[in-house]
Chain A
């Protein structure tokens, strides 16, 4: 056996190493380029198109909007762009109300999700091991089933001749069905139901990290369980509360399906307004403007908040 196979090859591999270095370098760029190009074309570029069309006017044509560049009558190239759509959004109360009511609905739902989710997360975090895993799986399981069908399940529950009304009436608690479908109440239920696991999981992750000795220390120092909860557990679980609330609030605010299926005609939510503007009115430029405003007013602050939070967690 020679002293080192690597060493016997020492002379020729110098050249190869150089070539490999070159190849490795270009291989590296290729690896970077694939996700970069895909996301650049199919995620980033669409927003520029969106912004550009939001400056156009609606036409009855294919495509149903005016081009950005056009030949003026004298043959020179001119740019057609107007802020007309944005002015329209500002002046029409419908859109302002839709934005505000989206935020309201998302906020109320988030609070309810927190109130329902916190005890569950707390209970699971304190449960002994085999029970804990089973409960956790039970929280996650509905999330994996079809979202649309879970909303659909509530339709069967909340209808005037649905399960809840039938049960209450057969028990003699009410004489006539309660109107629950097509109300804001139904929308709250739908959102809380759909996004509850997103609230519970971060809370659970946070609460399991809570050192049990802290609670023992608090009670040793004379705090009642109630006082311990409000002075130790709750403040320490704040990061979990923030994370869970974000995970519910963010998707809720742009929600379309839940208000469309469970809400009434007066349940205004911005996702639904955008959808109707696009599919019913076929006004692409206004729909684009709605999307841009939504992006600026809702998505940008959330992304900023998240990056701040991420940085704080890393630091």
Chain B
């Protein structure tokens, strides 16, 4: 793997990864409606995007969903990870292990369909949730995002020196105090990274949301998908550029936090 072959293969790989994204960004500043023909620099599509009430509304829905489900998923995922790493034996341990890792390999269409069917039968028997919308999307996203948070939290909890918690017990702190005084601060950077991952996964999800949402609660990916299905349009390029910008900032923050967390974990 020496000589010319390796650098060439790597260069090809990175061009493959970045060329589509770069062209997406470049053409978002294109004057022409034709996405692939350069008609001069313009920010016209950004202006159009900001006047598009449908997209703005969907973006607001998506942000609310992502915020709520990332937060809930962080709580549930962390508790699950804590239980699995710190409680040696309890009834249902195997079941919990399975339920917390299975969403990672579950095809989205199955998760989406099965949750929708659950919501429908719950509505028939319990009367809740009445119809589908924001709450059902949040529940669905929380469930699959919790699995991702749990993976991150579990690996951090495993690598954490357990004698830190024992030391706190030894110095007179009860179990609950130890969790809030020691465990949580030590794994906090990992949890922030987990929250950010859950937030992006939720923002990104199309399939599950399509199944469990109802009229009036369309997320951003759902609106984009319905537009994109009909063909390329330059305001989507503009939207993509804005999202890429946001993600870049978020990734830099997450990377910084993770690095700090790793340094603390040593």
Contact = CB atoms under 8 A, between A and B. Distances in A.
Answer yes or no: do A and B interact: yes
Nearest to A272: B109
List of 10 A-B pairs having minimum Cβ-Cβ separation, nearest first: A254-B107, A46-B114, A35-B80, A153-B20, A119-B9, A39-B99, A46-B118, A149-B240, A50-B114, A153-B24
Contacts of B105: 250, 299, 302-303, 306
A43 B79 contact: no
B236 A149 contact: yes
Contact of B204 (A36, A148, A233, A299): A148
20 contacts: A24-B175, A31-B83, A34-B79, A35-B96, A38-B143, A42-B118, A42-B142, A43-B99, A43-B143, A138-B18, A148-B204, A148-B225, A149-B240, A152-B236, A156-B20, A156-B237, A166-B37, A225-B1, A254-B108, A299-B105
Contacts, number: 240
A156 B26 CA distance: 12
Contacts of A271: 107-109, 207
Given A146-B203, A303-B102, 10 more contacts: A35-B76, A36-B96, A39-B99, A63-B121, A144-B251, A155-B232, A166-B36, A288-B117, A294-B109, A299-B106
Contacts of A117: 13
B180 interface: no
A55 B230 CA distance: 36
A190 B258 CA distance: 30
Contacts of B207: 256-257, 271, 275
Given A39-B96, A153-B24, A298 B13 contact: no
Nearest to A271: B109
A284 interface: yes
Interface in B183-242: 200, 203-204, 206-207, 210-211, 221, 224-225, 228-229, 231-232, 236-237, 239-240
Contacts of A267: none
A34 B76 contact: yes
Contacts of B255: 137
A28 interface: yes
Interface in B65-96: 75-77, 79-80, 82-83, 87, 90, 92, 95-96
Interface residues of B, number: 89
A144 B20 contact: no
- Most A CB atoms within 10 A — which of B83, B108, B113, B255? B113
A236 interface: no
A65 to B, nearest CB: 9
B21 A287 contact: no
A31 B146 CA distance: 15
Contact of A142 (B10, B17, B35): B17
Q: Tell me what chain B mostly uses at the interface: helix, strand, loop, or mixed.
A: helix
Q: Tell me what chain A mostly uses at the interface: helix, strand, loop, or mixed.
A: helix
Contacts of A6: 172
Given A40-B99, A145-B21, A261-B229, A27 B176 contact: yes
A142 B174 CA distance: 44
Interface string A105-145: 00000000000110110110000000000000111111011
B110 A254 contact: yes
Interface stretch (A83-91, A93-101, A157-165): A157-165
Contact of A291 (B113, B146, B175, B236): B113
Nearest to B1: A229
A254 B106 CA distance: 8
Nearest to A41: B118
B151 interface: no
Nearest to A251: B107
Nearest to A233: B1
Contacts of A22: none
A141 B251 contact: yes
Contact of B113 (A32, A147, A274): A274
B107 A253 contact: yes
A163 B35 CA distance: 9
A215 to B, nearest CB: 10
A32 B79 CA distance: 8
A257 B13 CA distance: 23
A116 B6 CA distance: 11
Given A50-B114, A63-B124, A42 B139 contact: yes
